[in-house]
Chains A and B, each alone.
Chain A
Amino acid sequence: MGSFISISEAAPTTVPKRRFRFGGILRFTILLAVAFCSMLGAWRYVRKLSPEVELYTFAAHKKIAYARELDKAGLPKIVIYGGSSCAFGVNTDQMRGEFHLQAVNFGLHAGMGPVVLTGLALKYTNPGDTLIVSLEPILLNMSFDWPALGDQISYALKAPDLCEGGPLRIQRRGAFGVFLTLRPGAENILRFLPSQLRHQYVEYPRSTFSPSGWQRYDVHAEPKARGVGTVISADSQMLLKRLKKYCLEHSIRVAYAMPWLYCDGSRLSTYKETFARFLYEMNKLIPVLRDPTLGTDTDPNDFADGPLHLRPPAATRRAEQLAKLIIEWRTWQPKELAKYFEPSRSDPE
């Protein structure tokens, strides 16, 4: 085979002498300082120039302030939380005005992830309050992705504990590395910075948030129907079980309310069957409010800029319906949901 072990390729086997170099220490210190300052600069950039972080931190502060104001009155309140479908879709102003419910809408950005959203809402829910979970099904279909936006907003709110679900304390792998997510990334900078520099809104204006947290946004674009998975991931099941346990221990009433999703009217029965399956699974974990639509909405005019973002009239209708369900505390029974589909024999009744 020839001599293929080349002597020149072999590394020297002699051990180098120990040397002390001041230049080495200086270099190391400079690079460490550069890394540290870059991280600080990146975090400052995210805090000031990332429109998503800026807007949703503002929104979260507004919702927290409103929740505290309600607490001062001493009456039990209703905390409704989820992603943007919740922010747009529940007119909590109406719930207070017409039904005298002390409701606060903690809907923020679904991209923050279910753990941070749940942690934030739970942190401002007291014993005797009602917590309505209105997380988007797609967030619950998947395993936790621990999105950076959730970490960034948690830190912007000076509440890093939210990264682990606040009071739920959900352990996450590599938790110490969370601070590494407090950076913008090229995609964020190149997507947002040009518009930011031109002072153009790249997200929604701050004025869209009402004091109670509802996001009023009256535009219209034709929505495109989307599917929903029927499975609740193991991670989400764990989250919801912990949430239920926590609520039981702290005398908090909890239920799930399905967001309204635009559905193609010609396939309504298929959608209802799918949504019923999802809610059937959900019902095994926490009670589900008895919304007869099951979350289906076939009117495209009800939607603003997406198939989950309701326009104000639809958000008001949904709020009225939710208010009645909460007052009467009407929840689905498994058998009722099962009527929409044939449950497999292994499913418990």
Chain B
Amino acid sequence: MNFTDFTFWQLLFAGCILWMIVRITIPGKIRGECSFDKFALLFLDLALIANVGLPTFLTFLTVSVGTYIWLFFIKRYPRLKWTAPVLFAYQLLPLFYFKYSNFLLNEVSHLQIPTIKDLLIPAGLSFYTFQKVAFAVDTLHYKLPLPKPLDYLNFAGFFGQIVAGPIERRANLLPQMENFRLRWDLGRINKGLSMIILGFFFKSCLADNLASLAVALRTNSENVYLIWVTNICFGFQIYFDFAGYSFIALGLGRVLGIELTLNFRSPYWSTSVQEFWRRWHITLSRWFRDYLYIPLGGGRTPLWFLNVLVVFIVSGIWHGAGWNFLIWGFIHGMALVLERIFKYPKIHAFLGWLSTSLIVFFAWMFFYETNSGMLVKKVARVFTPKAYTFGHWNAAYEAMAATQAGLVFVMIGLCALVLLLERFNWSEDGPNYSPFYRIEFQAMMLVVTVFLAPVKSNGFIYFNF
């Protein structure tokens, strides 16, 4: 379900028109009694998921429907509660098969099984698997009632969040689905459209242009300044890509009257790695906190640092099956542990921001560089003090000038402007994007996106996870 693919919007628009036509023909009373809007939303959800591809559709049904049926039997026959761990294994099985089997069996165990090489991961598998695990844990642990199948399927398959999150919890999304009725509120629609415009500006204008730069610069492993420029380009790209997707998802939800969770809150202004993770991919961070970190004992045990490391290593593996992702998670985990031991980000906010940014942008290198040889070279280069000479700086500038210096400077400048706007509206907990919803900024973003977005869009990075 690629929000930048015109086919998606065609299908969504056609689905909504059909929904409206049928809705008008059914009398209001009957409409309410038969939960017409809920059925229509489910129909739209399933059609959009099926449009992504049959493997995606079937895997989604296997995980979602299987979870519900299993929970139904556990609720009906409490003596089956012992099967809960088997349910979790069942939920995680497709994820392990599609995402990790090649890494574990071929790369780690060297079994060389050809059939599991190059498996295509069904879209959104990592996201909705985590959502279903959380649903099962909440339902069983808090002895919550099982919702009606229709409400559950709308919760499980709402198209805005199925492919790349937000990983919505039962407590937030399910009540909305239970009370779902389509209502036209212009204020809400306008807010939703504003989010969609912001999302497209982030994704199509900023992330897609940065993607071409990051790809062009990625081949360099000699010049340390170019390595840092690549890291910055990729860091901005991944933020605007994923935040852009999330804003479009939020906006679509808002138009239909469904409030999804804000997944990003100006993460690049964080003054510690801990704060970064409170602002970056918020729903995933909360998932790890609530379903892994706290069950392991959280921060109240003497071995709290091990818990932190485990959580971040698992988070790394969640992002991708590879050693580089594992190391990426480890770097973040270690940074967090050191922060808590030495409390150095609290010395000064600027130093905290600088150290956090250095760690985060350095770690992105492990995210984008999947070639281990290149990765080792780049890491070695970054830690070579002699590499930071004026001569290398000139060489980096010339290399950029020879390729797309204008694009590098314009895009990084534009990103910096956006981040500054975020900064001016900084708050500890509230959303930091309100200036972007002002009509003058919305109009500017529209114009800039139309002119500057590449004519061919790239896929969303987080679709790979």
Q: Residues of A at under 8 Å CB distance from B? A: 1-2, 4-7, 9-13, 15-16, 18-21, 24-25, 27-28, 30-31, 34-35, 38-39, 41-42, 45, 145, 147-148, 173-174, 176-177, 180-181, 183-187, 189-191, 194
Q: Does B404 contact A (CB under 8 A)?
A: yes
Distance in Å: Cβ of A175 to nearest Cβ of chain B = 9
Cα distance A194–B223 in the bound complex, in angstroms: 28
**Which 6 A/B pairs are nearest by Cβ-Cβ distance?**
A177-B6, A24-B186, A4-B290, A148-B455, A11-B259, A38-B450
Complex contacts, A176 vs chain B, CB 8 Å: 6, 10
User: Which residue from chain B places its CB closest to the CB of A5 in the assembled complex?
Assistant: B171
- Whether B185 and A19, one on each chain, are in contact in the complex, defined by CB atoms closer than 8 angstroms, is yes
Among A28, A39, A173, A186, the residue within 8 A (CB) of B186 is: A28
User: Which residue from chain B places its CB closest to the CB of A149 in the assembled complex?
Assistant: B455
Among A31, A173, A191, the residue within 8 A (CB) of B443 is: A31
Q: Does B65 contact A (CB under 8 A)?
A: no
Distance in Å: Cβ of A190 to nearest Cβ of chain B = 4
- Whether B10 and A10, one on each chain, are in contact in the complex, defined by CB atoms closer than 8 angstroms, is no
Cα distance A186–B404 in the bound complex, in angstroms: 11
- Whether B7 and A174, one on each chain, are in contact in the complex, defined by CB atoms closer than 8 angstroms, is yes
In chain B, residues 130-186, which have Cβ atoms closer than 8 Å to a Cβ of chain A? 138, 141-142, 169-172, 175-176, 178-179, 181, 183-186
Contact pattern, B 217-233, Cβ under 8 Å of A = 1, otherwise 0: 00000000000000000
Complex contacts, B454 vs chain A, CB 8 Å: 185-187
User: Which residue from chain A places its CB closest to the CB of B298 in the assembled complex?
Assistant: A2
- Whether B451 and A2, one on each chain, are in contact in the complex, defined by CB atoms closer than 8 angstroms, is no
Given contacts A24-B187, A38-B446, A174-B7, contact A13 B141 (CB under 8 A): no
- Whether A27 and B294, one on each chain, are in contact in the complex, defined by CB atoms closer than 8 angstroms, is no
Number of interface residues of B (CB under 8 A): 54
Cα distance A42–B175 in the bound complex, in angstroms: 44
- Whether B183 and A15, one on each chain, are in contact in the complex, defined by CB atoms closer than 8 angstroms, is yes
Distance in Å: Cβ of B297 to nearest Cβ of chain A = 11
Q: Does B430 contact A (CB under 8 A)?
A: no
Question: Could you list some 14 contacts between A and B, CB below 8 A?
Answer: A4-B294, A5-B142, A16-B185, A28-B190, A31-B439, A41-B447, A42-B450, A145-B456, A148-B455, A186-B454, A187-B209, A187-B404, A189-B451, A190-B407
User: Which residue from chain A places its CB closest to the CB of B457 in the assembled complex?
Assistant: A180
Complex contacts, B284 vs chain A, CB 8 Å: none
Distance in Å: Cβ of A314 to nearest Cβ of chain B = 30
User: Which residue from chain B places its CB closest to the CB of A177 in the assembled complex?
Assistant: B6
Distance in Å: Cβ of A322 to nearest Cβ of chain B = 35
User: Which residue from chain B places its CB closest to the CB of A14 in the assembled complex?
Assistant: B179
Q: Does B354 contact A (CB under 8 A)?
A: no
User: Which residue from chain A places its CB closest to the CB of B283 in the assembled complex?
Assistant: A9
In chain B, residues 179-208, which have Cβ atoms closer than 8 Å to a Cβ of chain A? 179, 181, 183-190, 193, 197, 205
Q: Does B126 contact A (CB under 8 A)?
A: no
Cα distance A176–B9 in the bound complex, in angstroms: 10
Q: Does B379 contact A (CB under 8 A)?
A: no
Cα distance A186–B205 in the bound complex, in angstroms: 8
Complex contacts, A41 vs chain B, CB 8 Å: 447, 450-451
- Whether B439 and A27, one on each chain, are in contact in the complex, defined by CB atoms closer than 8 angstroms, is yes
Q: Residues of B at under 8 Å CB distance from A? A: 5-7, 10, 138, 141-142, 169-172, 175-176, 178-179, 181, 183-190, 193, 197, 205, 209, 212, 257, 259, 261, 286, 289-290, 294-295, 404, 406-407, 410-411, 439, 442-443, 446-447, 450-456
Cα distance A6–B189 in the bound complex, in angstroms: 27
Cα distance A11–B168 in the bound complex, in angstroms: 11
Cα distance A191–B178 in the bound complex, in angstroms: 53
- Whether B453 and A185, one on each chain, are in contact in the complex, defined by CB atoms closer than 8 angstroms, is yes
Cα distance A177–B2 in the bound complex, in angstroms: 14
Given contacts A42-B450, A190-B404, contact A183 B455 (CB under 8 A): yes
Distance in Å: Cβ of A196 to nearest Cβ of chain B = 13
Among A6, A21, A35, A177, the residue within 8 A (CB) of B450 is: A35
- Whether A186 and B452, one on each chain, are in contact in the complex, defined by CB atoms closer than 8 angstroms, is yes
- Whether A174 and B5, one on each chain, are in contact in the complex, defined by CB atoms closer than 8 angstroms, is yes
Complex contacts, B411 vs chain A, CB 8 Å: 186
Distance in Å: Cβ of B350 to nearest Cβ of chain A = 31
Among A15, A28, A34, A148, the residue within 8 A (CB) of B456 is: A148
Complex contacts, B184 vs chain A, CB 8 Å: 18
Cα distance A184–B411 in the bound complex, in angstroms: 16
User: Which residue from chain B places its CB closest to the CB of A151 in the assembled complex?
Assistant: B455
Cα distance A113–B189 in the bound complex, in angstroms: 40
Complex contacts, B7 vs chain A, CB 8 Å: 173-174, 177
Known: A1-B294, A9-B261, A11-B259. 5 other contacts (CB 8 A): A4-B294, A38-B451, A41-B451, A42-B450, A186-B205
Complex contacts, B172 vs chain A, CB 8 Å: 9-11
Cα distance A258–B407 in the bound complex, in angstroms: 37
